[in-house]
Chains A and B, each alone.
Chain A
Amino acid sequence: MELECRFFATYREAVGQKELTRTIDDETTVGDVLAALEAEYEGLEGQLLEDGVIRPQLSVLKNGRDVTHMAGVETGLEDGDRLSVFPPVAGG
């Protein structure tokens, strides 16, 4: 099944694009995807996960809702889901 990942601000620069699509299996969790992204993109290394949980300096949304309010890194995924990853920004 397919998962759409979207990146904002600094994460967009680290990945080099705004969106990418990943093929995942039924058992894949949000944590698995974030770990795979960290492994794949040097600029994301250590930026998304800390001690197995999502770092407090970013927000990860599944279909527009924060996964913190679901099952965090254990949140399951379905075909066509959209994962959005964004940091706070401070510019004014």
Chain B
Amino acid sequence: MSDLRLDATQLDRYSRHVIMDEVGPEGQKRLLEGSVLVVGAGGLGSPAIQYLAAAGVGHLGIVDDDVVERSNLQRQIVHGDDDVGRPKVESAADYVHRLNPDVSVEIYETRLTPENVDELAGGYDVVLDASDNFATRYLLNDYCVLSGTALSHGAIYRFEGQVTTIPNREGSDGPCYRCIFPEAPEPGTVPDCATTGVLGVLPGTVGCIQATEVVKLLLEQGDVLEGRLLLYDAMDMSFETVELQHNPNCPVCGDQPAIDSVGDVSYEHTCTIDAD
């Protein structure tokens, strides 16, 4: 921990954090010194970026190669009507700057690939997966496992959400995303939001849960969703956690992993080594 001190404005801004024993000035310093890469500035990324910035997470990276479309605004609340046509990373960064001058933002207007993932994600304390496709999700899982980077996973489908946390601590034998789903579904078999629709507020709930997990990881407080998958059903308003276990046959974190580099994998198909 550095000797970063909270100034009077910060003590005021973060007073509801600082007053709690679980955070306190030391915890707030951890947040201010923390860095999080948010991959995707859409439905999940919007609330995550907002709450991480509000919490004073000192450095945020935001990756997205899309521009804002009007059909995004029903759920992607970091963008406004005037932002239609702008790169999402730019309007998300503007939002953060307006919200909290303590937070520095690095924007990457690009798609994450096996070639650039280390350059973009290397050095961040936590990666928050708010992407919208399996290729990016499996790439992030594999990269984070191989590099020992903490990962928050969240995904949505119509009225349902899935969330888990993969801290990737040294010596940890917790499960990764591939332990649950070794391969991605074939392209086209799981429709996207544009095809199926999505309840606008759904990613708000799921993205906020991801932000909660990331703040806890940075604070080193509480129990995260390690080894647990949270299944949220907005229609039933039910939350269910199911137990996850490390899979000894997992292709990336198993006993004899086939994947020892993200360069081994063809991410544009089923995210396997032998994909053609």
Q: Which residues of A contact B (CB under 8 A)?
A: 8-10, 18, 56-59, 61, 64-66, 68-69, 84, 86-92
Contacts and interface: CB of A to CB of B under 8 A. Distances in A.
Contact of A92 (B45, B189, B243): B45
Contact of B154 (A9, A69, A88, A92): A92
Interface string B169-206: 00000000100111111100111110000100001000
Given A56-B182, A89-B190, A92-B40, 5 more contacts: A87-B185, A87-B190, A88-B180, A89-B160, A92-B156
B231 interface: yes
B251 to A, nearest CB: 9
A42 to B, nearest CB: 15
Nearest to A92: B132
A56 B193 contact: no
B266 interface: no
Nearest to A47: B189
11 contacts: A58-B181, A88-B180, A89-B155, A89-B157, A89-B160, A91-B43, A91-B132, A91-B157, A92-B40, A92-B130, A92-B131
Contact of A10 (B44, B184, B190, B270): B190
B137 interface: yes
Contacts of A87: 181, 185, 190
Contact of B243 (A10, A18, A58, A65): A65
B162 A89 contact: yes
Contacts of B189: 10, 57
B190 A90 contact: yes
B209 to A, nearest CB: 13
A64 B158 CA distance: 22
Given A90-B133, A90-B134, A92-B154, A8 B231 contact: yes
B231 A92 contact: no
Given A9-B160, A88-B134, A57 B184 contact: yes
B201 to A, nearest CB: 14
Contacts of A91: 43, 132, 155-157, 192-193, 198, 203
Identify the interface centre among A89, A90, A92: most chain B CB within 10 Å of its CB: A92
B192 A90 contact: yes
A84 B132 CA distance: 24
A84 B245 contact: no
A47 B122 CA distance: 37
Contact of B157 (A9, A18, A68, A84): A9
A39 B132 CA distance: 32
A87 B176 CA distance: 15
B44 A88 contact: no
Identify the interface centre among B134, B181, B184, B243: most chain A CB within 10 Å of its CB: B181
A72 to B, nearest CB: 11
Contacts of A56: 181-183
Interface in B197-254: 198, 203, 231, 236, 240, 242-245, 247
A64 B242 contact: yes
A15 B192 CA distance: 19
A84 B242 contact: yes
Contact of B43 (A9, A59, A64, A92): A92
Interface string B35-48: 00000101111000
A58 B183 CA distance: 9
Contacts of B40: 92
